[in-house]
């Protein structure tokens, strides 16, 4: 056990504090102090340290999960909680083996770390992961600007402001980009690790009764706690790259196929949509986030980009069948267009803030999906029942 109160976790930056900017493509700038992984030659001459889509997340906790969530690939993420870094970084809460954000924006990076599991400071982690960050930013003003004017490309950097803005304007937007190749696994592998008892949902042991259904997970950028929750429910899990063909997936003889979360524009993931189309009706399908969008596209629906997305752990969703309200964890910038849902597809869940589609079911093919993250890492555990629903679908039918 590491005592994170010891002073060696409170590591100073490897370079003097450097005033910098987050510059948005619309010409707006927010000042702050750069830290994390910075290129010394760029610091000296001035220029861009990182580029990505500027977004914000409203979660008060879970910054380590944000940093390691593959769905944040190529995004500069603003944390709306005022102080970040006070619990450090540990070896337990990672959602992937490395960070996927392009940049990190904070109001106050905590100068000290205090948590019994911590093994390094936030600054040290960012340096090790090659992530540039900026602190001292008025994140409330930045968040309100994004809400008003929309998520947009941005850069972190120093020097001539007009040059920074030009670089942001020249960066490719999220629309039309398939980013799954950046975050998917490289080869087929088994996953056998569960949550080891820390998850407090009573449904975590229900699936352990009886036979062990085999789930093939298509990795479009999966969070590790999704895999752990499948194991908690008694599943034998095989993870395959996003480019795996439907024939190769079926060759594993799965009892069900899971469509994972991931980054980018779902409409650009054409191979994934084709694979899902070929899997429809073969065995139960369960998708979340990007997987939900790909399932809907495979069924004939359309997707579009939200103005600023849903990112946080306090998103209200209503189950249309029961009227039950769930507080959910979400991270997405695209959405399924409700009017485009074809006949036979039921909208099962709706977002209470804006009425967008949060879940669908297609009974004919035993497929269902949700836009949010039922593994809830970080976040509330209202939606854990969906994993048991998937297990029930698999154990109640034979593989075709």
The single residue of 289, 292, 332, 357 carrying the catalytic annotation is 289
Q: How many CB atoms lie within 10 A of CB 355?
A: 9
Question: What's the token pair of residue 107?
Answer: 């109001």
For CA atoms 122, 127, 131, 135, give the dihedral sign: positive
Is position 375 annotated as part of the catalytic site? yes
CA distances from 14 to 123, 159, 185 (A): 10, 20, 33
CA angle 326, 382, 144 (to 5 degrees): 55
166's CB contacts (< 8 A; 6+ apart) are none
CA distances from 1 to 23, 63, 89, 116, 308 (A): 41, 21, 14, 7, 40
Is position 373 annotated as part of the catalytic site? yes
Is position 332 annotated as part of the catalytic site? no
DSSP result, 268-293: G-HHHHHHHHHHTTTS-EEEETHHHH
The single residue of 100, 167, 375, 381 carrying the catalytic annotation is 375
| H runs (alpha helix) in 130-223 | 139-149, 161-170, 180-183
- CA 198, CA 201: separation in Å to the nearest integer? 9
The single residue of 123, 351, 373, 381 carrying the catalytic annotation is 373
- Residue 148 in 3-state DSSP? helix
The two beta strands, 189-191 and 132-135, are: unpaired
Query: What is the DSSP secondary structure assignment for residue 339, as one 8-state letter?
Result: G
Q: Which of 173, 188, 315, 337 is nearest to 251 (CA)?
A: 188
Residues classed as catalytic: 289, 373, 375
């Amino acid at each position: 056990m590491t005592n994170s109160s010891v002073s060696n976790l409170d590591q100073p930056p490897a370079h003097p504090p450097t005033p910098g900017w987050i510059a948005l493509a619309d010409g707006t700038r927010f000042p702050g102090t750069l830290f994390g992984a910075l290129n010394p030659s760029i610091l000296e001459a001035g220029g861009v340290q990182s580029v990505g889509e500027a977004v914000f997340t409203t979660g008060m906790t879970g910054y380590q999960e944000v940093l390691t969530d593959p769905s944040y690939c190529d995004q500069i993420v603003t944390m709306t909680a005022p102080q970040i870094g006070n619990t450090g970084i540990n070896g337990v809460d990672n959602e992937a083996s490395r960070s996927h954000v392009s940049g990190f924006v904070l109001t106050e990076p905590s100068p000290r770390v205090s948590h019994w599991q911590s093994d390094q400071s936030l600054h040290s982690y960012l340096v090790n992961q090659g992530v540039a960050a900026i602190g001292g930013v008025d994140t409330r003003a930045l968040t309100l600007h994004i809400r008003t004017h929309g998520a947009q490309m941005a850069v972190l950097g120093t020097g001539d402001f007009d040059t920074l803005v030009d670089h942001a304007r020249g960066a490719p937007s999220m629309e039309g980009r398939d980013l799954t190749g950046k975050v998917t696994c490289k080869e087929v592998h088994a996953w056998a690790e569960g949550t080891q008892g820390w998850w407090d949902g009573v449904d975590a042991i229900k699936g352990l009764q009886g036979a062990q259904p085999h789930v093939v997970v298509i990795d479009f950028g999966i969070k590790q706690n999704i895999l752990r929750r499948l194991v908690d429910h008694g599943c034998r899990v095989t993870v395959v790259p996003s480019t795996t063909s439907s024939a190769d997936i079926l060759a594993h003889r799965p009892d069900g196929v899971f469509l994972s979360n991931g980054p980018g524009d779902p409409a650009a993931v054409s191979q994934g949509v084709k694979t899902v189309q070929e899997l429809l009706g073969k065995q139960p399908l369960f998708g979340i986030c990007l997987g939900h969008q790909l399932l809907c596209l495979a069924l004939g629906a359309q997707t579009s980009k939200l103005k600023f997305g849903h990112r946080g752990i306090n998103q209200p969703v209503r189950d249309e069948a029961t009227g039950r309200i769930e507080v959910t964890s979400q991270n997405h910038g695209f959405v399924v267009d409700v009017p485009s849902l074809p006949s036979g597809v039921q909208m099962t869940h709706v977002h209470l803030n804006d009425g967008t589609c949060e879940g669908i079911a297609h009974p004919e093919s035993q497929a269902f999906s949700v836009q949010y993250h039922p593994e809830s890492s970080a976040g509330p555990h209202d939606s854990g029942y969906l994993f048991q629903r998937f297990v029930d679908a698999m154990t109640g039918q034979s593989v075709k």
